[in-house]
Structure 1
Amino acid sequence: MTSDLRDSIRSIPDYPKPGIMFRDITTLLGDARAFRRAIDELVQPWAGTKIDKVAGMEARGFILGGAVAHQLSAGFVPIRKKGKLPHATVSIAYSLEYGIDEMEMHEDAIAPGERVILVDDLIATGGTATGAVSLLKRIGAAVEAACFVIDLPDLGGAQKIRDLGVPVRTLMEFAGH
């Protein structure tokens, strides 16, 4: 969006493997002004509307989603990797670049019809995020939007979420992957 928010993202070449430019939001999180601004901009379209829950994906989505939920006076729902939640769960398998993984949430975390926003730090290929949207819809959530600080549009993930009928909000884009 604006240069100062974009400038708060650290880029690390060849991580986690050669040819990948890793976009690190820990520098944004450590900068109080940038962190507050990012949360304010993620929340802005829903200020004054009724959002029941914010769902965040492990792990950076917990940080961002918790702050968004607080600003919206909404509950927070963690979406975790399989086997990490202590109560009865509902799960879904989703595609990763080199295989399949599973994520889950508590089966009673969201009531049918509740208005939910999904939050994470970055949308790339969309495998995890589309899995989370499908999981939320399966238990009856009204998924109002998926929000990310960073979009890597060359990888097409945001479009996959839009193809599921869910609007996508991102604060900035970076070319490549």
Structure 2
Amino acid sequence: MSVFVVYVKETGHVVGAVTANGAAVPTVAALVGDELPLRVSLEPGSVVSLTLKAGELAVHEADDEPGVFADPLAFGVQPGEPGQPPKPALAVLRKATVPLKFEVPGLTVTVGDAVSEETPVLVLISYGQATSVLRGKIGQGLGEVLLETLVDDDPHGVLVLVPGWAGRLEEVEKP
């Protein structure tokens, strides 16, 4: 039996996994169609979807890792040598514990430890049923970044992807 993971090409975060017997590596379109919705429950009882477009995703045949089915965002695809496919083993990513927070003028993302090199940050934020995409970088020697965006006082679904850190899919409100 093979394990196939769908991951975000930009950050390596796994966003879904399936198993198949004796199958060739499927395409992204065969697994998710044109886009992959990630759902976030908001108070009081509503649900929003943050969508990743198929062009932002890739499929990889990975070693068996049962935990990837329960918490895919806790795993990442490890790049191979230049010009080679990713490594078969999935990386277990560190978990950030500092809450995400909206403050003027945007969203603060804190990973906890200072990063050893400039590190990209990809954020998706729900605005009603629409999705806004923010990109930024945590500077070398720093542990956080403020991504400028205006949000209303309603709760928002947020997906935060920082290489090396588990993805975060959660509700975030303005204080």
Settle same-fold status: TM greater than 0.5. Answer: no
- Taking structure 2 as the reference length, the TM-score comes to 0.27
- Taking structure 1 as the reference length, the TM-score comes to 0.27
Structure richer in helix, relative to its length: 1
Q: Which is bigger in relative contact order (C-alpha 8 A, separation at least 6)?
A: 2
Structure richer in strand, relative to its length: 2
Give 1 or 2 for the bigger CA radius of gyration. Answer: 2
